[in-house]
Structure 1
């Protein structure tokens, strides 16, 4: 029993006759308390129907009986144990409110209404049975100390339930995010979303950004956004990075997302159906590893060219093999000229402008290349391979 309540209890002992009369009236008091709560606390009108309503009615009666045991200090009754049981019930009531999705506001109001009605009825019975004024004052102090203890117990239960359920839900959201990034089956993802109480959007967009930027953008994103830190075993990113899966599709919603993340040094992947979020994650992870930022749709060539760096290196070596016969300086100049020739489709003046050389220099170098490559310069398959092999340097330069 709380110290304050214990002190108030020790200062009062209701005469047996008055306590008996008040106990006799308790059935009517509990009914009036319940009626007042239903009338004055609208959010409790539905809960008082059915099984939950019956449970609350029992709780009210137990609480009132516990108070009278406390006030009268009946022989053979351990009021401390009785009150502890009532406080446990109040604690459980607070947890139940949290599970029902209600705040403590309604329950706190119900306690205030209940205290007022209970005090009105009990004080009337006490006065009618001749309770002295000093004892009546002590009874009032005990009533409100008792209600405070019940309310505090409910507040604790409510807070504990929110903390517990919040941690549990966050763990489930983390598991859902991991499963999305891993590419689990649709049935597995649907089950994980249901367990996490997460409503799937039509599509998700993967985003990587520094952990230091998360707080500044979090409130601007869809509340269903999922987060996964770089320390998760599923992700392979630079330290201090966070993966977000943001409900956002193409069009206007993507434009808004890019605007929100404009100053966050973020990498934004493509929108994908929510069960295919792994596709967006793989794109954004690769772009992040290449040191790219912003919209990955603007870096598709870089991403494609670096999808298999070993294969790209082998292709480049094969394409440039004919230049192995010239000096390193000539190799560099001829490689630049070949790349510009491919990009500008043989237009000499455009090639000269790109290389900052005279058109005659371009003509001379192209003569060298024709001597080294022969008919391959007109072979569509070679032109394709050379464009891809030399494309990374061109993309890197333009970026």
Structure 2
């Protein structure tokens, strides 16, 4: 790195004269910045007194360097850069203000130099080189960028903590929920859904860049990486939003993903996460895909009491579960398709790509093995709960 040239000694008396007028110079700078830099117009972002004081400090900083002939301390410029970053000032506007301020100060120095006796061209060139390499704006820029990086990290930490509180149920007060929704960029009213995706490994996101991808579909969301899952709450307020969500997930899909039923209140987020986990559990043996939790009463009962539902599944379907795997899976698939077809044998046959007589045979076999008639509504309800429980607890 090249050494910053020293300030020419001949300039020191001029700088000392200007240093006595630093307050006037600072105010002149501030007025010029106000007139030429849009961000600083009016008191909305930076009050005039604050801007003038900052300009005065920067004038004094530069002039003292010229008086002393050294490089000086960049602390004032650095503090200005950090303060403007905290205020949200665009960096381009900050640098524009520095350019305008530098023009004012350079003009003042040049005016003094023109009236000075014995000031050589070499001294003017030396002053110009010192001015270019003085680094005032560069120091402000570096401090600005450092502060922005720290603010981004701080906000991301705060955001991550809020998302975790949302999923764990620590946010229950409505006012707090509204504040959290505002920070997370979520609407304060639903519907929402929770998405749970299996991570490919510890600390690795299952759906990298998913928040930005959803924003392209005008879907706002907040995400959290857990040890085993990448989870997010997604606002699905507009028509067909859930279908748009599924399309985005399908394009990013490399793992198994569970999606909860929609819900209206952010206080229901922990319950929705449990349902998304259950939907994911139901994909036992499938390497990739999306499972949406069935919002039927039977599925919700299973989710509310998974242990008891597992016991019901084993008890109700015991005879079927004892069969060889191929026959067991055929019968359970037939029952599932019969439910999907609203109890229509012909509809189930279409879903299974087989003859309706084959479906009738399998259903009679199920009735024999379970001791339950598909013509008895109570027996049908038992089988529906058992089938949902089996789907959501495949290892039972």
Q: Which has the larger radius of gyration?
A: 1
CA distance in 2, matches of 1:262, 1:4: 56
1:315 lines up with 2:312 in the alignment: yes
Partner of 1:137: 125
Shift of 1:243: 0.7
Matched residue SS, 2:184:
coil
Q: TM-score, normalised by structure 2?
A: 0.73
Shift of 1:214: 2.5
Shift of 1:393: 7.2
Question: Residues 89-104 of structure 1 correspond to what in structure 2 (within 5 A)?
Answer: 89-104=76-91
Work out which of the residue numbers 85, 88, 102 in structure 1 matches 2:75: 88
Kept in 2: contact 1:29–1:118 (CA 8 A): yes
1:274 lines up with 2:266 in the alignment: yes
CA distance in 2, matches of 1:317, 1:15: 94
1:162 lines up with 2:148 in the alignment: yes
CA distance in 2, matches of 1:373, 1:100: 72
Kept in 2: contact 1:267–1:284 (CA 8 A): yes
Question: Residues 284-323 of structure 1 correspond to what in structure 2 (within 5 A)?
Answer: 284-291=276-283, 293-294=289-290, 296-297=292-293, 303-304=299-300, 307=303, 308=305, 310-316=307-313, 318-319=315-316
Partner of 1:61: 56
Partner of 2:6: 8
Shift of 1:291: 1.8
CA distance in 1, matches of 2:315, 2:390: 16
Partner of 1:229: 225
Matched residue SS, 1:107:
helix
CA change 1:98–1:194 in 2 (3 A) is farther
Kept in 2: contact 1:267–1:296 (CA 8 A): yes
Kept in 2: contact 1:189–1:275 (CA 8 A): no
CA distance in 2, matches of 1:22, 1:150: 18
CA change 1:296–1:189 in 2 (3 A) is farther
Shift of 1:301: 8.3
1:38 lines up with 2:34 in the alignment: yes
- Structure 2's unaligned 5+ residue stretches are none
Kept in 2: contact 1:47–1:53 (CA 8 A): yes
1:72 lines up with 2:63 in the alignment: no
Shift of 1:160: 1.9
CA change 1:92–1:192 in 2 (3 A) is farther
CA distance in 1, matches of 2:387, 2:44: 75
1:301-327 per-residue CA deviation (whole Å, 9 max, x = no partner) reads 895585355434543554468x79xx9
1:218 lines up with 2:206 in the alignment: no
Normalized per residue, the structure richer in helix is 1
Q: TM-score, normalised by structure 1?
A: 0.72
CA change 1:395–1:16 in 2 (3 A) is closer
Kept in 2: contact 1:176–1:192 (CA 8 A): no
